[in-house]
Amino acid sequence: MQDLINNLLKKSSFDWWDVALAAVVVVVGWLASGWGRRGTRKLLERWSGMSAEMTNLLSRAVRYAILLLTIGVVLSILGAPLQPVLAAVIIVATVAVLALRGIASNFGAGIVIQARRPVRMGDTIEVDGWSGRIVELSGRTVLLHTSDGRTVRLPNTMLLQQPLVNASESGSVRSEIWVRITTPVDADTALTLVETAVAEVVPQSGRQLLLETDGPEQVDLCLRFWCTYDEREELRSASVREISSALSTQGHVGWVSSRRLGAVEWVRNSPAPPDGSPFSGDPRRA
């Protein structure tokens, strides 16, 4: 066995000193990769605010980079021609980039999201028609839990490439209640009626009641208020219920909705009365 090793060394371009130096480089490179991984993880945990998964991913990437550098140095010490090695590395890297282009782009987007923090755990967002609460941020996807119980996984690139709406960043969102009264009533009375109806439901802070239309056939009002995203549905429902009850109690006819009503109808066409009725000759009923 010793004779075989000696023969190989005689035929090769390196000697025992090169082997010893290569061994030392391997040990140092292995230790350096471990130190680099731990140092990178501690640095990211302290300063970047990234998630644990993303921190581990980047720290492992640093370790692998150091190991690859170590392998290159060892090959150089042993006299291996670097041009074929570099060519092979470039070919493998090109194939890997082309094959994993989508995954790599999502990982890159995940790093940007973790660094810039446009969203956080627990935020309610809307992206490309999907809305829900963020329950998980990973290196490749963002996991949403929708209001109807579904789970949606969005690729990280979508958050950077599509318009992103964050309903939780400011702490509150604005809701609107639209009221249309079609019985004769003056604007001040209508405003007082709606204001009194929602006094116990909607917080006064940030509440705003606007007169949108004051005409002979109808009065349109818009109630605006601010609340958290989670409270909006409940407060809208309670406001619609209280305003509708107040209108009914006062003998008024109208519509109350959390969606904007249609265009103003200043004149409502009534069906023509049948012949012989008391109003058949009244031009006002035409």
Nearest alpha carbon to residue 176 among 127, 214, 122, 220: 220
Distance CA 103, CA 57 (A): 13
Distance CA 44, CA 245 (A): 57
> Averaged over 32-36, what is the pLDDT?
89
- Which strand (E) or helix (H) includes residue 210? strand 208-214
Question: How long a stretch of residues is the chain?
Answer: 286
> Averaged over 220-248, what is the pLDDT?
92
> Averaged over 75-82, what is the pLDDT?
72
Q: Are 176 and 260 in contact (CB under 8 A)?
A: yes
Distance CA 63, CA 138 (A): 21
Domain 119-166 has CATH 2.30.30.60: yes
Distance CA 264, CA 182 (A): 11
- Tens-digit pLDDT profile for residues 165-177: 988 888 888 999 9
Q: Which tokens is 119 given? A: 């969203």
- Looking at residue 41, its pLDDT comes to 82
pLDDT at residue 113 tops 60:
yes
Q: What is the pTM of this model?
A: 0.55
pLDDT at residue 206 tops 90:
no
> Averaged over 18-35, what is the pLDDT?
87
pLDDT at residue 82 tops 70:
no
Confidence of residue 275 (pLDDT cuts 50, 70, 90): low
CATH of domain 173-257: 3.30.70.360
**In which residue ranges of the chain is CATH 3.30.70.360 found?**
173-257
> Averaged over 43-49, what is the pLDDT?
64
Q: Are 146 and 152 in contact (CB under 8 A)?
A: yes
Scanning the chain, the segments in alpha helix (DSSP H) are 2-11, 16-47, 52-77, 82-99, 101-116, 156-161, 187-197, 232-249
In CATH terms, 2-99 corresponds, of 1.10.3210, 3.30.230, 1.10.3470, 1.10.287, to: 1.10.287
Q: Are 172 and 225 in contact (CB under 8 A)?
A: no
Q: Are 53 and 139 in contact (CB under 8 A)?
A: yes
Burial label, 275 (beta-carbon count in 10 A; 0-12, 13-18, 19+): exposed
**In which residue ranges of the chain is CATH 2.30.30.60 found?**
119-166
The CA-atom distances, in angstroms, between 277 and each of 71, 268, 282, 283, 285 are: 103, 20, 10, 13, 11
Q: Are 164 and 248 in contact (CB under 8 A)?
A: no
**In which residue ranges of the chain is CATH 1.10.287 found?**
2-99
- Tens-digit pLDDT profile for residues 47-75: 555 667 667 777 888 888 888 888 878 87
> Averaged over 236-245, what is the pLDDT?
94
61 contact partners, CB below 8 Å, separation of at least 6: none
Distance CA 112, CA 268 (A): 57
Distance CA 175, CA 233 (A): 9
pLDDT at residue 134 tops 50:
yes
